[in-house]
Amino acid sequence: MNRGNRQIDILISRYDPERDDQPRTERYTVPYAHDSSVLDALLYIKDHLDGSLSFRWSCRMAICGSCGKMINGVPSLSCKTFLRDYAPGPLYIEALHHFPVIKDLVVDQAGFFDKLPESRPWLIRDQERALADGPHRQSPRQRARFASTSACINCLLCYAACPQYGMKPDFAGPALLALVERYNADSRDQGKAERMPMINAEDGVWSCTLVGNCSAVCPKDVDPAAAINRNKLESAKDYFLRFLKIGSGGAE
Amino acid sequence: MKAHYQRPMGRWYLRPFYLFVYTLRELTAVFVLLYALVLLAGLAALAAGPEAWAGYRQALTHPLSIGLHVLILVAALYNSITWFMVAPKAMPAVFIGTRPLPGLLITLAHIVVFAIISVVTVVLAGAG
Amino acid sequence: MAKQYKPRSHEPVVWLLFAAGGMAAAMLMPALVLITGIAAPLGLLAEDSLNYERVIGMLGSPVGKLVAFPFISLLFWHAMHRIFHGLHDLGIHAGLGYYRVLCYGFALLATLLTAGILFLI
- State the greatest distance between any 2 C-alpha atoms of chain C, in Å, as a whole number: 70
Residue C106 within a domain: yes
> Are residues A168 and A228 located together in one domain of the fold?
yes
Q: Flag if B32 and C29 touch (Cβ within 8 Å).
A: yes
Count of CB pairs separated by less than 8 Å, B with C? 156
Q: What CATH number did the domain enclosing A53 receive? A: 3.10.20.30
Which residue range forms the structural domain that includes residue B24? 12-126
Asked whether residue A68 is assigned to any structural domain, the reply reads: yes
Instruction: Check CB contact under 8 Å for A117 and C2.
Output: yes
CATH number of the domain enclosing A123: 1.10.1060.10
The answer to whether residues A124 and A180 touch, using CB atoms and an 8 Å cutoff, is: no
Asked if A49 contacts A3 with a C-beta cutoff of 8 angstroms, the reply is no
The answer for B 55-94 residues in CB contact with C (under 8 A) is 57, 60-61, 65-66, 68-70, 72-73, 76-77, 79-80, 83-84, 90
Same domain membership, residue A121 and residue A82: no
Chain C residues whose beta carbon lies within 8 Å of the beta carbon of residue B61: 41-42
A192 in a structural domain: yes
Task: Using DSSP, state whether A8 is helix, strand or coil.
Answer: strand
Number of domains in chain B: 1
The 3-state DSSP composition of chain B as helix, strand, coil percent (nearest 5) reads 75, 5, 20
pLDDT tens sequence across B29-38: 999 999 999 9
In a domain, C41, yes or no: no
Q: How many domains does chain C have?
A: 1
Query: Using 50, 70 and 90 to split pLDDT, how confident is the model at A245?
Result: low
- Interface mutation vs chain C, best among A120, A235, A237, most C CBs within 10 Å: A235
- Average pLDDT over chain B reads 95
Residue A247 lies in a domain: no
Same structural domain for residues A119 and A188?
A: yes
**A79 inside domain:** yes
Chain B: residue whose CA lies nearest to A22: B5
Are the C-beta atoms of residues A63 and A77 closer than 8 Å to each other? no
Which residues in chain B are contacts of C14 at CB distance < 8 A? none
B6 is a domain residue: no
Task: Note whether residue A169 is domain-resident.
Answer: yes
Shared domain for A14 and A114, answered yes or no, is no
What is the DSSP code string of B10-67? -SGGGSHHHIIIIIHHHHHHHHHHHHHHHHHHHHHHHHH-HHHHHHHHHHHTSHHHHH
Confidence category of residue A252, pLDDT binned at 50, 70, 90: very low
In a domain, C17, yes or no: no
List A residues 6-35 in contact with C (Cβ-Cβ < 8 A).
Answer: none
Interface pTM (ipTM) of the complex? 0.95
C91 and A CB contact within 8 Å: yes
Half-sphere exposure of B53 (CA within 13 A, CB side): 15
User: Does residue B7 form part of some domain?
Assistant: no
CATH for B122: 1.20.1300.10
- Residues of chain A in contact with residue C5, where contact means CB-CB under 8 angstroms, are 118, 172, 197-198, 200-201, 203-204
Chain A residues with CB-CB distance to B16 below 8 A: 73
For residue C119, is it within any domain?
Answer: yes
Question: Is B104 within a domain?
Answer: yes
Q: Are residues A183 and A67 in the same domain?
A: no
Find the CB nearest B69 among C33, C47, C121. Answer: C33
Confidence category of residue A2, pLDDT binned at 50, 70, 90: low
Share of chain B above pLDDT 70, in %: 97
Is B4 inside any structural domain?
Answer: no
Q: What is the pLDDT of residue B128?
A: 54
Residue C70 pLDDT = 98
**pLDDT for A146-205, tens place per residue?**
999 999 999 999 999 999 999 999 999 999 999 999 999 999 999 999 999 999 999 999
Position B51 in a domain: yes
Residue A250 lies in a domain: no
The subunits that touch chain A, with at least 3 C-beta pairs less than 8 Å apart, are B, C
* A59 and A176 co-located in one domain: no
Q: Which domain holds residue C89?
A: 62-121
CA atoms of A189 and A150, how far apart (whole Å): 14
* pLDDT at residue B3 in the model: 84
* Bridge partners, A26 (sequence order): A12
- Specify whether A114 is located in the same domain as A90: no
Domain limits at A169? 110-241
Q: Is B118 on the interface with C (CB under 8 A)?
A: yes
Residue C15 maps to a domain: no
Domains held by chain A: number: 2
* Average pLDDT over every residue of A200-221: 97
For residue A248, pLDDT over 80 is answered with no
Rounded Cα gap, residues A237 and A228, in angstroms:
14
Helices and strands counted in chain C (H then E): 4, 0
Nearest Cα to Cα of residue A93 among A67, A65, A72: A72
Best mutation target among A18, A92, A145, A211 (most B Cβ atoms within 10 Å) is A211
